[in-house]
């Protein structure tokens, strides 16, 4: 689970990897290897960094994962940048967005644009995609309203 009072908005895909990394940090005093970073893992680790920054410095990413983690802004967050700058265009690539902070309402629209841009690129602009984008916007708004400055999102 995400440490309280941090809020996480994650997909069910790959979230176990992020939770496993956190559990391993709690169970060992040494380095924890992370071999897979997805948007869900990024959001979990970014949210956890707000309370467990020193512990998360023990994470060792594989070289491929470290490149992705740097590109999406996760490495910056783990090093203390709690509000990554998502001004990287509408997305990092056609299939993923950068990690975006949802700590205040003024960040919601930018985050909606980043995350929903990935959906539109991958799936088009059908009614279903428009409905999913509305739900994403509502979720982002809820995180900004209730996370007390500690929310992240990525797609």
At 74-107, the pLDDT tens digits run 888 888 876 665 545 444 556 788 888 888 888 8
pTM above 0.85, yes or no: no
**Pick from 44, 153, 144: which is nearest to 91 by CA?**
153
Query: What are the residue boundaries of the structural domains of the chain, listed by start?
Result: 15-153
At 19-77, the pLDDT tens digits run 888 888 878 778 888 888 888 888 888 888 877 878 888 888 888 888 888 888 888 88
Q: What angle do CA 83, 134, 9 make, to 5 degrees?
A: 40
């Amino acid at each position: 689970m995400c440490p309280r009072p941090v809020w996480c908005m994650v997909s069910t895909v790959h979230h176990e990897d992020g939770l496993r990394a956190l559990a391993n940090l709690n169970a060992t005093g040494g380095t924890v290897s992370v071999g897979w970073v997805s948007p869900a893992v990024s959001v979990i680790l970014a949210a956890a960094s707000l309370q467990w920054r020193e512990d998360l410095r023990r994470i060792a990413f594989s070289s491929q994962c470290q490149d992705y983690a740097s590109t999406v802004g996760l490495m910056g967050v783990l090093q203390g940048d709690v509000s990554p700058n998502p001004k990287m265009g509408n997305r990092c690539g056609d299939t993923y967005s950068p990690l975006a902070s949802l700590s205040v309402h003024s960040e919601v629209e930018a985050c909606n644009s980043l995350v929903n841009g990935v959906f539109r690129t991958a799936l088009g602009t059908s009614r279903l995609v428009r409905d999913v984008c509305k739900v994403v916007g509502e979720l982002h708004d809820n995180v900004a309203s209730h996370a007390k400055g500690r929310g992240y999102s990525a797609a």
